[in-house]
Amino acid sequence: AQSVTQLDSQVPVFEEAPVELRCNYSSSVSVYLFWYVQYPNQGLQLLLKYLSGSTLVKGINGFEAEFNKSQTSFHLRKPSVHISDTAEYFCAVSDLSAQGGSEKLVFGKGTKLTVNP
Amino acid sequence: EPEVTQTPSHQVTQMGQEVILRCVPISNHLYFYWYRQILGQKVEFLVSFYNNEISEKSEIFDDQFSVERPDGSNFTLKIRSTKLEDSAMYFCASSGEVDQPQHFGDGTRLSIL
């Protein structure tokens, strides 16, 4: 079974500062990795995904993440945040080898990013 | 861009009543999912659905829950006899292929009184 750990439940930063949101996962099989963002009163929007290939993945809104297999991590980064990035960010994994048409997502508990002026 | 749509956005129901949450997945998608998020907790998988049958369900998805794709566009989650602990945000998701990202709706907030 997979599990996802997001170590920081809340991350406050100032506008234009860099940010890193940490994600570590545990799995006995190869996985796909995702970051989703949830703005207030909205659903989950895909930020970026790692399926295979380059370990540095670029997503929407200037975010990027790096897959590190040896450290089982998939940290999310942005070099300069905006007020509009204030949201909750969820890291998720799914089983690469799932059969039967199901690749359920296993989510971390989320990190609330607050960008202050 | 195509979206997953969920109705209603907020449902208030008395304990013990049946509730049906509705979802319209993206039209050419084949894989469908329900997740829930209890306030302050992580998003949890409930059930996946493919080729008109359940592919996988979690231990949360007990006999009071059922899913249906009654026509070519809707995907519903029914809770037969609601309990207070069913209060949560319920998300529907769909994907086009099994290795493609899931697209989520905005959710239905279910409040059980």
* Segment A35-48 mean pLDDT: 91
B4 alpha-carbon distance from chain centroid: 11
| 3-state SS track over chain A | CCEEECCCCEEEEECCCCEEECCEEECCCCEEEEEEEECCCCCEEEEEEECCCCCEEECHHHCEEEEECCCCEEEEEECCCCHHHCEEEEEEEEECCCCCCCCCCEECCCEEEEEEC
Q: Are A66 and A75 in contact (CB under 8 A)?
A: yes
Task: Give chain B's end-to-end CA distance (angstroms, integer).
Answer: 37
**The domain A3-116: what is its CATH number?**
2.60.40.10
Query: Residue B113: which of B3, B7, B13, B4 has the closest Cα?
Result: B13
Q: Are A59 and A50 in contact (CB under 8 A)?
A: no
- The residue in chain A having the minimum alpha-carbon distance to the alpha carbon of residue B33 is A104
How many folded domains does chain B comprise?
1
Does residue A58 surpass a pLDDT of 80? yes
Note the pLDDT of residue A87: 96
pLDDT band, residue A101 (cuts 50/70/90):
low
Note the pLDDT of residue A12: 97
CATH number at residue B64: 2.60.40.10
pLDDT band, residue A98 (cuts 50/70/90):
low
- The residue in chain B having the minimum alpha-carbon distance to the alpha carbon of residue A45 is B104
The verdict on a CB contact (< 8 Å) between A43 and B99 is no
Note the pLDDT of residue A96: 67
Listed by number, the residues of chain B in 24-83 with a beta carbon closer than 8 Å to a beta carbon of chain A are 30-31, 33, 35, 41-45, 48, 50-51, 55-56, 58
* Segment A69-88 mean pLDDT: 95
- What residue segments make up the domains of chain A, in order of their start? 3-116
Q: Give the residue numbers spanning the domain of B36.
A: 5-112
The verdict on a CB contact (< 8 Å) between B50 and A101 is yes
In order along chain B (113 residues), what is the average pLDDT of each group of 10 residues? Answer: 90 96 93 93 93 91 94 92 96 85 93 96
Note the pLDDT of residue A102: 59
